[in-house]
Structure 1
């Protein structure tokens, strides 16, 4: 990636698609939040590289297989592509909390992998999530934390304890609208 490349990191469940306390276990259960796939396309059109960083402990819990997870991600990719967008890569942690791995958010391992893959510091990169752990993992690496109120976002906001400087948005589409209008005002 070039130094001028703009990167944004999105959580999946509760940001791009509806979340479920019972996990998203099939392609039928994966349903995009209205406006989210279009928001990703808008980011691409504005020059952003979009990546997803998602905890998927349902694999470790044997609620779904890696093949099913890949099929869910293929549906997500296809949904974004249908509106002219592209998710450049999906990074995921298949472990449970008991595995004590370094890649499960709120630990920063998955985002460090993104930094390494793109040869880019994450300082100043927007990181978007609906839970505190999404924001914490990015904040540790200098990301700008963005909370969306979809998914678990409203409960996360109510509970408090957000990283300093967290920006709050109703949903991904609103965040993108704000980001692109701010960017266009500051760019000559």
Structure 2
């Protein structure tokens, strides 16, 4: 199985320090939907692991998050692809869960769902916590410069991190 795991905010859609709180605020980054569809059509399973502490903070209900993910699936389907498992951490930073990145719970949940080891699987993110999560479970850390990516790049990266301009460039690399 060819599996790739993506962070959501800042990788697939535009991010906001004020949180993405409504379907109207959920705006795909140019080329990201097409990139997911291209990967899917080429036999890749595209899973998503996303921290969504805005739920714990009361900024938006789970139904709004589900509507965003439904829209993501619809847009990718319109391009002939599909999105695999989407897992989210709805907890706040002080809740003590094992799923909030940089803890590896969501990645382990995806691996268990698909029955695959995480070693070497590409995990694409835009933040230091994404890269740290990847390293924790021996995934290949991949940074995109969209979202918080440029700020993350300026802080220094874990050894072996691959860097791309955006998700479209990641897909282009994997499909060459």
Q: Normalised by the size of structure 2, how large is the TM-score?
A: 0.98
In structure 2, stretches of 5+ residues that fail to align are none
Find the counterpart in structure 1 of residue 68 from structure 2: 72
Deviation of 1:175 (Å): 1.1
- Aligned counterparts of 1:138 and 1:115: Cα–Cα separation in 2: 13
Match of 1:142 among 121, 124, 138: 138
Partner SS, residue 99 of structure 1: coil
Is 1:179 the counterpart of 2:174? The answer is yes
Question: Please, what is the CA RMSD of the aligned residues?
Answer: 0.8
Find the counterpart in structure 2 of residue 166 from structure 1: 161
Match of 2:29 among 6, 29, 33: 33
Q: Normalised by the size of structure 1, how large is the TM-score?
A: 0.92
Match of 1:10 among 6, 10, 15: 6
- Aligned counterparts of 2:95 and 2:172: Cα–Cα separation in 1: 38
Partner SS, residue 28 of structure 2: coil
Is 1:90 the counterpart of 2:86? The answer is yes
- Superposed CA offset, 1:9-45 (max 9, x none): 0000000000011110010000100000000011112
In structure 1, stretches of 5+ residues that fail to align are 182-188
Check whether the contact 1:37–1:85 (CA below 8 A) recurs between aligned residues: no
Point out the structure with max Rg over C-alpha: 1
Check whether the contact 2:37–2:76 (CA below 8 A) recurs between aligned residues: yes
Deviation of 1:54 (Å): 0.2
Aligned residue-pair number:
176
Match of 2:147 among 139, 146, 151: 151
